[in-house]
Chains A and B, each alone.
Chain A
């Protein structure tokens, strides 16, 4: 159970929040201008990486505000939380040394013993 630091309310238990999937997938401003492929990519296609992920959360049992978070999906570490109107952090800010898709982080996935 994560602790999530709502930018409006402060630290709260994960059970108060709902996850909204990938962040920064803007709704096209003029959908009619897109062809079927472009539109269906907006509607249906989302990424699901192991490692650093920019995602949306909403404080559904609290202030009901949406915000963004950067989370390492392999270890569950929430690395950054920022409001919708704030500039997203650059990926370079975070060390992302995972050999995805099948790699594991050296520390934090719970699956490995120290190798000599």
Chain B
């Protein structure tokens, strides 16, 4: 085989040389070349190994529909499955072939081809059923190694952004139809966006010489002139290198722009741009796709679609082979024949499936005049070769004629690219003359023009577009005169697959080249009962590759219709789903990565925490100190034991600024709060606080916190750190949807106040030192009261409350003053043993006291009654959210899981969270029947103050089991730990410390 440069049609290629590497080998092409055109220019046709059978594969097409020539682009963050027929080369580009090992020419996985009888349709489902454990350990690793396409990149690296457009008209496709449509909008009041997948306009005009001239101009001149006119029109914008990948409801289109075309963009610029487009009208001018024919070994390198072969000649100036065989069933291939002859490259044979009387006279005359060997009413039965086609077998009038060749150009007809139209939920209709689906009824404001609508006749194009856009007011009239080089009417004979002359393990007739699905697989699947097209697709994986079967999905419908003896519209199509072409995840992510996706929220004290060796814990988006490392080498356990002990001996301070805070105001605030929470607020005195619970309508605990009542019209509620947004949203929802008659307003004030919790026996002394003018005595400042005080030029709210069980205070201060006050408290507490503590110590201390944490001791299936919190329920209230559910038969059951304390009988034993509570003391060696369990441990900590583990658990009917001996499982042993069920308040049950 010998490729030559087509110097006659060199318009899209510059003479500037560009080199890149393919599998480590240096390849030189021209600027403007795609990887595929550069490889063909260098006589390289073997570019990959197939998905399942590892068969050698070459370049099959010249565009976005490519099933075979998929490569990995190492220089673009290892982007896998890039189409070599689309991606343009640049200096220094590094490209590798995929799915071959150890090398492309010598591939060990190719043995799969000889094992193909076991790889038939549904083989994954049938073969890997057992024995147990084999899938994970044996089958999956082997399949992963030998099947598949490119390797996923190890790191997320590529940079992309999102652009938004709001326009009146989108024209998808800047080919001849799209350009004629665009001319209608020049200098009108419409905002127009033209989206072109190539780096240049003109579409099929660049692919062939089917059209001689438009309006007296050579086609290339006409494209230039038209682009110039469009560019000067201020209301029209052109996006090139941009592919529309989805067409969603409400005329919403997603398009991907590749910025790494012809060169890598500079480091500070995006490599991919995802365009999100809203439009009033969508004009689909996205053209047609040529399809294959299924015959024996139609996947061999050297077999190429005829239209693509011609595209290489005219777009890239490379003639992949000087004397190919052409095999067609339609009139579109004539221009390839002509293009070759005009370059003095004579096809070695022209095989037309149509009978002589159906073939255009001009074609027959041309073949005869140029003395080209041709067969009519004939077909290529198959071809042979190893890494490249060597001979083709032509069936003509019952004879098989063997011809030597290096390339075979195939055309199975063309069909409108209906992918986007069907994504938009439009209806398509089968055309019995063109043997294809055509757009029929649009569901949205969609106008389909040109070959995308099934109009393959250039002469009718201008009238078609005129008629279809007429309803838009103020569009321009266009006069387009087209002189063709070929017959205007498209003509085709029906043929889908060709019966093979001989059978062997090697000989396969493919329907989906990318996924290695054969015609035989389709037949077998139908025999096995998968005769519905959606079932058939999944069972055989037909058209499920990255190319979505663009060149063959219609063929499979044709083949299936023949097997089932039904019409194609009865067979129907599978749903066309977005994306039309593969969409990189990084493009979808855009700028929403890392801190832009998940911001880190820090309290005003954050810098102090860092200076004091805090180890942080993520609570929602917040960074909270988990514990403070006192000295080098201190472990978390040591730190938490130290903090917990010191707090109960002297005092500790916690940064509680992340707590959610919601302000509720209004004439009916009291009634609203009574409905939202279980607690009764009516008799509560102003300037006092209460521990509160919020339930769902199902009676389960949703959140807890402290509500402070300033007066009946003004409350401040705290929420858990993670629950704040949801609690506010729920309040708003009920206020608007259920009780619109209540005059009440709510607002998040989480970030308006920093919060510190100071607790421990010395906390009163420290507070007195910091706020010397405030009386902190029990009489003047009792438990669960609060007040506002002047502080510098602002106000602080101080509340007597505690989550540790010790005497404690909560300080609320505007964040601007927070760090300064925090430092002042430290300075004052230094000699009194004040210790900073983190969330882990907070959890330990509250567990000693038997206080629950929502989300740890509850899980959405726990009622206040289950937690012995009956005292928090305002029983005299007529209603509150979830009240009725508390008396439902299921919530009122006495054997529900209830909160209890767990005390190990052997005080040295360790109890782990999440472990099961069991009635039996020993687990059997081999578990044969499920072991009944009573519940699970929700919280467990080693108490430095009690010197043993304290744990809480949810246990079936736990309230009645006080004092009973049960067992806790241990994940490392079959031994269980004997424990006693006790009251969960382990420390200070009489609240002496709390109220001191």
**Beta-carbon contact of A1 and B252 below 8 Å:** yes
User: Is B249 an interface residue when CB atoms closer than 8 A count as contact?
Assistant: yes
Residue of A nearest to B696 (CB): A43
Contact A2 B250 (CB under 8 A): yes
Q: A3–B885 Cα gap in the complex (Å)?
A: 38
Contact mask A15-57 → B, CB, 8 Å, 1/0?
0000010000011001110101001101110000000000010
Interface residues as binary, A88-116 with B (CB distance below 8 Å gives 1, 0 otherwise): 00000000000000000011111111111
**Contact call B879/A36, Cβ cutoff below 8 A:** no
Residue in A2, A77, A108 whose Cβ sees the most chain B Cβ within 10 Å:
A108
Given contacts A75-B443, A114-B440, contact A20 B733 (CB under 8 A): yes
* CA A20 to CA B733, docked complex, whole Å: 10
B575 in complex: contacting residue of A3, A34, A111, CB < 8 Å: A111
Bound Cα distance A32, B879 (Å): 8
**Do the beta carbons of A65 and B425 come within 8 Å of each other?**
no
Whether B733 and A60, one on each chain, are in contact in the complex, defined by CB atoms closer than 8 angstroms, is no
Quick one: CB contact mask for B752-777 with A, threshold 8 Å, 1 for yes? 00000000000000000000000000
Bound CA span A113–B443, Å: 13
The minimal Cβ–Cβ distance linking A60 to chain B, given in whole angstroms, is 7
On whether the beta carbons of B430 and A113 are closer than 8 Å, the reply is: yes
Is B682's beta carbon under 8 Å from chain A?
A: no
Per the bound structure, the CA–CA distance linking A83 and B614 in Å amounts to: 50
Q: In the complex where A66-B733, A113-B430 touch, is A40 in contact with B278 (Cβ < 8 A)? A: no
What A residues does B429 contact at CB under 8 A?
113-114
Is A9 on the interface with B (CB-CB < 8 A)? no
Find out whether the CB atom of B569 lies under 8 angstroms from the CB atom of A85: no
**Distance (Å) between the CB of A37 and the closest chain B CB?**
10
B27: interface (CB < 8 Å): no
Please state if A112 and B572 are interface contacts (CB–CB under 8 Å). yes
Contact A58 B733 (CB under 8 A): yes
Is B888 touching A39 in the complex (CB atoms < 8 A)? yes
Question: Is B422 close to A, CB under 8 A?
Answer: yes
When distances are taken between beta carbons in the complex, the residues of chain B under 8 Å from A1 are 248-250, 252, 276
Report the bound CA distance from A91 to B317 in whole Å: 63
Q: State whether B437 touches A113 (Cβ < 8 A).
A: yes
Quick check: is A84 within 8 A (CB to CB) of the other chain? Answer: yes
Give the distance in Å from the alpha carbon of A96 to the alpha carbon of B197 in the complex. 40
Residues of chain A within 8 A (CB-CB) of B430 are 113-114
Complex-state Cα separation, A65 to B737, whole angstroms: 10
Q: Contact string, B901-927, partner A, CB cutoff 8 A, digits 1/0?
A: 000000000000000000000000000
Say yes or no: A75-B884 contact (C-beta < 8 A), given A2-B250, A85-B740, A110-B575.
no
Q: Does B487 contact A (CB under 8 A)?
A: no
Q: Does A64 contact B (CB under 8 A)?
A: yes
The answer to whether B737 touches A3 (Cβ under 8 A) is: no
Q: A27-B738, A108-B443, A110-B422 are in contact. Are A39 and B572 (CB under 8 A)?
A: no
Task: Let me know if B878 is at the binding interface, CB within 8 A.
Answer: yes
CB distance from A57 to the nearest CB of B (A): 11
* Chain A residue contacts of B428, Cβ below 8 A: 113-114
Interface string of B716-744 (1 = CB under 8 A from A): 00000000000001001100111010000
Q: Which of B249, B440, B697 has the most CB of A within 10 A?
A: B249
Known A32-B878, A39-B888: A113·B737 in contact at CB below 8 Å: no
Bitwise, B639-661 to A at CB < 8 A (1) or not (0) is: 00000000000000000000000
Residues of chain B in range 252-283 having any CB-CB distance to chain A below 8 Å? 252, 276, 278
* A96–B426 alpha-carbon span in the complex (Å): 19
Given A60-B729, A65-B736, A40 and B427 contact (CB-CB distance below 8 Å): no
- Residues on A with C-beta less than 8 A from B569 are 113-116
Interface residues of B in 403-433 (CB under 8 A from A): 422-423, 425-430
In the complex, A110→B249 CA distance in Å?
11
Complex: chain A residue closest to B734, CB-CB: A27
Across the interface, which residues of B come within 8 angstroms of A113, CB to CB? Answer: 427-430, 437, 569, 572-573
Q: A115: nearest residue on chain B (CB-CB)?
A: B569
A56 and B737 contact, Cβ closer than 8 Å, known pairs A32-B878, A110-B422: yes
CA distance A84 to B741 in the complex (A): 12
CA distance A84 to B729 in the complex (A): 17
* Of listed A3, A113, A116, residue having the most chain B CB within 10 A: A113
The reply to whether B440 and A40 form a contact with Cβ atoms under 8 Å apart is: no
Q: Are A2 and B427 in contact (CB under 8 A)?
A: no
B125 within 8 A of A: no
For B437, the chain A residues whose CB sits under 8 A away are 113
A18 to B278, CA, bound (A): 20
Compute how far the CA of A111 lies from the CA of B426 in the bound complex, rounded to whole angstroms: 9
B441 in the interface (beta carbon within 8 A): yes
Asked if A3 contacts B879 (CB within 8 A), the reply is no
B119 to chain A, nearest CB (A): 31
Check: B494 CB closer than 8 A to any chain A CB: no
- B889 proximal to A (CB < 8 A): yes
Give the CA-CA distance A109 to B440 in the complex, in Å: 14
Q: Mark B872-911, 1 if CB is under 8 A from A, else 0.
A: 0000001100011100110000000000000000000000
Closest to A65 in B: B736
Cβ of A11 to closest chain B Cβ, rounded Å: 9
Q: How far is the CB of A93 from chain B (nearest CB, A)?
A: 21
With a cutoff of 8 Å between Cβ atoms, the chain A residues found around residue B698 in the complex are: 43-44
Taking the closest CB of chain B, its distance from the CB of A6, in whole angstroms, is 14
Cβ contact within 8 Å between A36 and B443: no
C-alpha spacing A36/B575, complex, angstroms: 45
Using CB atoms, name the residue of chain A closest to B425. Answer: A110
A42 proximity list for chain B (CB < 8 A): 697
A113 to B569, CA, bound (A): 6
Give the complex CA separation of A1 and B249 in angstroms: 7
Q: What's the nearest-Cβ distance from chain A to residue B41, in Å? A: 42
Q: Which residues of A contact B697 (CB under 8 A)?
A: 27, 42-43
Residues A84 and B884 in contact, CB atoms below 8 Å apart: no
- What's the minimum C-beta distance from A68 to chain B, rounded to whole angstroms? 10
**Which residues between 662 and 699 of chain B lie within 8 Å of chain A, taking CB atoms?**
697-698
B879 touches A66 (CB 8 A): no
**Contacting residues, chain B, for A110 (C-beta < 8 A):** 422-423, 425, 443, 575-576
Knowing A2-B250, A31-B883, A39-B885, say if A107 contacts B736 (CB, 8 Å).
no
Contacts A64-B732, A66-B736, A107-B441 hold; do A112 and B427 have CB atoms under 8 A apart? yes
Closest chain-A Cβ to B572's Cβ sits at a distance in Å of: 6
**What's the Cα separation between A116 and B430 when bound, in Å?**
9
Q: How far is the CA of A42 from the CA of B737 in the complex (A)?
A: 15
A2 touches B249 (CB 8 A): yes
Decide: B250 and A3 in contact? CB cutoff 8 A: yes
A26 to B444, CA, bound (A): 35
Q: Which of B427, B740, B889 has the most CB of A within 10 A?
A: B427
Contact A39 B738 (CB under 8 A): no
Complex Cα spacing A23 to B237, Å = 43
Q: Are A40 and B888 in contact (CB under 8 A)?
A: yes
- Which positions 55-84 of chain A face chain B at CB distance < 8 Å? 56, 58, 60, 64-66, 75-77, 84
In angstroms, Cα B736 to Cα A106, docked, is 38
Q: Is the CB of A32 within 8 A of B250?
A: no
Docked CA distance A36–B878 (Å): 17
Cβ contacts under 8 Å, A43 to chain B:
697-698, 885
Chain A: CB-nearest residue to B576 = A110
A79 CB to nearest B CB, Å: 13
B567 CB contacts on chain A under 8 angstroms: 116
Interchain CA distance A112-B889 in the complex, whole Å: 48
Nearest CB of chain A from residue B166's CB, rounded to whole Å = 10
Tell me which residues across on chain B come within 8 A of A56, comparing CB atoms. 737
Q: A27-B738, A113-B429, A116-B569 are in contact. List 9 more A-B contacts (CB 8 A).
A: A36-B888, A58-B733, A60-B729, A75-B425, A107-B427, A110-B575, A113-B428, A113-B430, A114-B440
Please list 18 pairs of residues, one from A and one from B, whose beta carbons are closer than 8 Å in the complex, sorted by A's number. Answer: A2-B249, A31-B883, A31-B884, A32-B879, A32-B883, A32-B884, A39-B885, A42-B697, A43-B698, A58-B729, A77-B249, A107-B443, A110-B423, A110-B575, A112-B427, A113-B437, A114-B428, A114-B569
| Nearest 10 CB-CB pairings of A with B | A31-B884, A114-B429, A110-B425, A76-B249, A66-B736, A3-B250, A27-B738, A108-B425, A43-B697, A108-B443
